[in-house]
Structure 1
Amino acid sequence: MRLPDLEAWAVFAAVADRQSFSGAAENIGLSKATVSKIIARLEAQLGQSLFHRTSRRLALTEAGRPLAEHARRMVAEARAAEEAARDAASSPSGTVRLAAPMSFGIANVAPLVAEFLVRNPAVDIDLHLSDARVDIVAEGFDVALRIGDLADSSLRARRLCDIATHIVAAPAYLAAAGVPQDAAALAHHRLLRYANVTGNWRFHGPGGAEVSIRPDGPLIANSGDALVPALLAGLGIAPLPGFIVGPHIATGALVAILPDWTPPPVGLHLLTPPSPLRPQRVEALIAFLAERLRDPCAEAVARRSDLPSSPDV
């Protein structure tokens, strides 16, 4: 039985990531000529080209693109196996790359990262906050937190909890435009939209009723926090998570309406690359986040029933 050419797959992954033979060579400590020979060897073994080569550009072929993902996973699993062996006799150390949504990350994740670092002084965390969906494997993240539905993938996913969503508006807006009595009435109001939620808004109501509306209004933004000033200015209504609007509800600057109508549950998920092999520092952060992020979510859901009902305006 011929063993797989693991060296060639690792070099292929480096070239695919750098999109350059010279860049990969510098990164892994080989000469450009050696890298080129290794790629040629792998292409001969596979019987197909992995890269389109021009004088100015290097790009993966149709065949090369899915194989690059396999190569990255091979390298990641090999590194994880080596680190797991080293970690077995030591405390967590090294760098963990963590991705999280912007608003949730600032409010809920950043304080936990600080606490984790105090407890684990030999660990460094590279925290990436963005509402854009990162490619965990391709971008080299160890852990990602994601809010919302998950697309089918080979990533390992754990649902931590549900995130409470509140339909909110400023008292001034409700006084001027009226308080909608059910979700269908939202179609006649100015609605502020979060860009990462596409399509119609869906709501579940009393007796199993379901309503779907097409939102329309003066503002759409790719950050939930960016909608808050417009809400406070009385420009419309928006469904937003409690970690964004909770403080404004508490002060009365925003009011939660339609308590009997709720959007579908939105889950907070913890994602990791496909391999079950993870360094000790990654396992430690996963366990810490999974434990600590359950309570804030549970409290947010519990507070949903304590919110004031629609105002009489």
Structure 2
Amino acid sequence: MKTTLDELQVFAAVVDTGSITAAAERLGQTVSGVSRGLSRLEEKLATTLLRRTTRRLELTEEGAVLLQRARLIIDAVDEAEEALALRQQQPAGRLRVDTAAPFMLHVVVPLVAGFRARHPQVELELHTSDLITDLLEHRTDVALRIGSLRDSTLHARPLGTSRLRVLASPAYLARAGRPTIRTLARHSLLGFNQPESLNHWPLRHDGGERLHIRPSLLASSGETLRQLALAGEGLACLSDFMTAGDRACGALVPVLARDTVEVRQPVNAVYYRNTALAARIRCFLDYLSSQIRDGWQ
């Protein structure tokens, strides 16, 4: 498009006020700036919009046609800005959220009812993926990530941390006995098939404070490992956000507590950098952050 909104606003202001000088005062611009803007618009459209006399400005036929359209465009932009301003006061619209299945099930889903009651005009669309997805490709507004971040093109907002613990069910411990660092390798160890870094458990041993284990049963999802641990299939290293209820009721109990190093996984909300964070994203993150602070940390 050749014509800019600024040029249309200059043109309309000149017509409305009747002079370039008055238009400059209304727009907070210099007289020369308004004059140049008007001339530039006429050059772009290759037509005369206003006939200038010593006493007044008179619309040409072409100018009258453009003025009618220009007012519609200016009004539409004003309405759009008002609508956006209203959304900032009352968040609205679709919000696409992506996170790993365990975090969705144990943290996000229990908070959905409270969030929707507070912000009924925000339409949540929840996606789960245990792999890091491309936010643009999947049209994701905000992703919730557990662990360290690598993508520098994203803006990150810390939401909290979640501690790692080695856990087992009472049924497994009754059958296999409680492990020690030395006997750990003889136990059924539940681990991840990827990434391999998740199989470095926070256990103090002769070689340091992270023990690399060789799982006897592997899974791609932390929720799968949790269910296996609950079923008495072995020991698992899991994050507090997904086991708080299990530990509270005794379905899973910590093991090797004296040998466990306190390691906390960062929890971040990530979204693409922009100058103004949409209200629907901001209110969701504010709500999530406040609930996490009062929850499983």
The TM tier, using the shorter chain, reads 0.5 to 0.7
CA distance in 2, matches of 1:154, 1:193: 31
Residue 271 of structure 1: CA displacement? 0.7
Query: Which AA in structure 2 matches 1:252?
Result: G
SS in 2 for 1:296: coil
CA distance in 2, matches of 1:112, 1:83: 32
Between structure 1 and structure 2, the one with the greater Rg is 2
Give deviations 1:38-97, integer Å, cap 9, x for gaps. xxxxxxxxxxxxxxxxxxxxxxxxxxxxxxxxxxxxxxxxxxxx9877422342111111
1:262 maps onto 2:261 in alignment = yes
- Give 1:87's aligned residue: 84
CA distance in 1, matches of 2:80, 2:95: 12
CA distance in 2, matches of 1:203, 1:236: 17
CA distance in 2, matches of 1:197, 1:295: 30
CA distance in 2, matches of 1:151, 1:281: 25
| CA distance 1:121–1:203, change in 2 (3 Å) | closer
Contact 1:84–1:279 (CA under 8 A) maintained in structure 2: no
1:215 maps onto 2:214 in alignment = yes
CA distance in 2, matches of 1:83, 1:97: 22
Give deviations 1:274-305, integer Å, cap 9, x for gaps. 2233322222222222222222132xxxxxxx
| CA distance 1:221–1:247, change in 2 (3 Å) | same
Aligned residues: 216
Task: Please give the root-mean-square deviation of Cα atoms over the aligned residues, in Å.
Answer: 2.9
- Give 1:277's aligned residue: 276
CA distance in 2, matches of 1:145, 1:120: 20
1:146 maps onto 2:145 in alignment = yes
- Give 1:241's aligned residue: 239
CA distance in 1, matches of 2:227, 2:286: 36
| CA distance 1:139–1:84, change in 2 (3 Å) | farther
Query: Which AA in structure 1 matches 2:239?
Result: P
Query: Which AA in structure 2 matches 1:294?
Result: R
Unaligned runs of 5+ in 2: 3-78
| CA distance 1:206–1:191, change in 2 (3 Å) | closer
- Give 1:193's aligned residue: 191
1:224-235 alignment, distance < 5 Å: 224-235=222-233
Residue 206 of structure 1: CA displacement? 9.0
Query: Which AA in structure 2 matches 1:222?
Result: S
Contact 1:136–1:144 (CA under 8 A) maintained in structure 2: yes
- Give 2:112's aligned residue: 113
| CA distance 1:173–1:276, change in 2 (3 Å) | same
Unaligned runs of 5+ in 1: 4-81, 299-313
1:169 maps onto 2:174 in alignment = no
CA distance in 2, matches of 1:229, 1:279: 37
Query: Which AA in structure 2 matches 1:168?
Result: L
- Give 1:26's aligned residue: none
Query: TM-score when scaled to structure 1?
Result: 0.61
1:33-72 alignment, distance < 5 Å: none
- Give 2:26's aligned residue: none
Share of identical aligned residues, percent? 34
- Give 1:103's aligned residue: 102
Query: Which AA in structure 2 matches 1:89?
Result: L
Give deviations 1:226-270, integer Å, cap 9, x for gaps. 223432343221111223333333333332111131363211111
| CA distance 1:196–1:89, change in 2 (3 Å) | same
